[in-house]
Structure 1
């Protein structure tokens, strides 16, 4: 039927969907090789709700209302693109091809080695470099898988054709002598993300001891002491020999045997956890050939 409105009729009224009436389309490629980039995100500053992603051939189609836009292109490992004054007309396709460059960020080292004495914090340095061929900033954030490492500056941006010196500091307070390993992880906007750098920290009674083969047997006081519930057992072995470390309670009964193995010449640190033992005083004894060493240790839970 017909519907009458103020002197006119609407017959068989049809209302079509009001979706975007224009589009921006093209390809995203890598600078230099011209290889297609898959997974780049294409949107606009004015309408971030309209989003497209490039496919395996680098092609994309962004459906959007007519207007003038700043097109934004993003892909991890590449420099962001901002393309202003892109005009989209009703019913037409605006073509835009984008070539993405990338930061040339790298670390000046492949490992960090720190050496220090007991209770003496130590620092080292390396550079983050954004090379001459880069065409955008190298953004980074540094973390580690241990709490005793810190960094300054821990995050930031390295400008094109520039470098940033990073200071690595090891807080060794409360840490016994021995060798410690960690990994620095540098999250960044470059192709290699993250950049992982292994760290080796040597703590000695005296720096001259590092790398030196002991000349005599030694069994050091556990550290920390008192402890809850993990402590370090440290010993020196001048020649390859069988080493046994036994824990006794105050009644002289053996309650644990954390070490029983052959060791080549060297300095060793064994982390011992006494989860199964109650609080109290214990004796810890090391036997290696004719050598015997014994100490008291206090477990507090």
Structure 2
């Protein structure tokens, strides 16, 4: 780990101003930042500690909006009674992530900023070719062991998977990321625009301007959010990243049999949290039964491309989406 300067921010403006200087990074729970520093991936000249800033850990649940402060701990959000009642998918996506120790330390803002777990990205000593670390150096994963890599949203420059769970749930329900710049200006970005596809510039991962700090996440409360579920399929039962996951919600018509609204986002298969809008559109107005769900969710992997070892994800993803929807709709 490199030597670095430590600063404790006194205000949001102070934090943003300091972070806009070259070589600066924010520090909150530290479960991602410190890890990347130990790996030699991140070598910041200074860390700006924002954990003591007031007002950024509040959680507010109203009939129309959920607002979660960026410094709220993952475990606090997962256990919040209002969120468990109004948005079970948010709670489930958090408590199925990481370990209890990490959830007690990690913040929501840090969780949204976590970087890929691609082995080639996280080992700069053994693998020099990584366009995320060093633009233009190549991608060792494409011809390497790529079982845990993405099949959607990939490019010839990068196939690294987005590893998180919470952002997948947020993507299904049109969450907004609230950002503040050094001048105190507030900007709200839809989460689907916040995460950037790799294209030819995989090192650019988020729609963030210099000095901008995540202050909160806002989620509109809709009926489908109340009837929601997060299903995570993985190689082992805990402390493991998703082979494929689905964040879903469903609202039925008054007859209890017809889909009025449905939300589906997939994790574990894309370079970013993946919203399945085609599947949603095809399901609206259809009968909510297992046969229909299996038929229509088959296109959830449409456009997917295997890199050799990860072709199983293309088959797995529709099955995960169907199971999650059946649970959300009370069928299984």
TM-score bin, normalised by smaller chain: under 0.3
* TM-score (normalised: structure 1): 0.23
* TM-score (normalised: structure 2): 0.21
Q: For CA contacts below 8 A with separation 6 or more, give which structure has more relative contact order.
A: 2
Choose between structure 1 and 2: higher strand proportion. Answer: 1
Which structure would you say has the larger Rg? 1
Choose between structure 1 and 2: higher helix proportion. Answer: 2
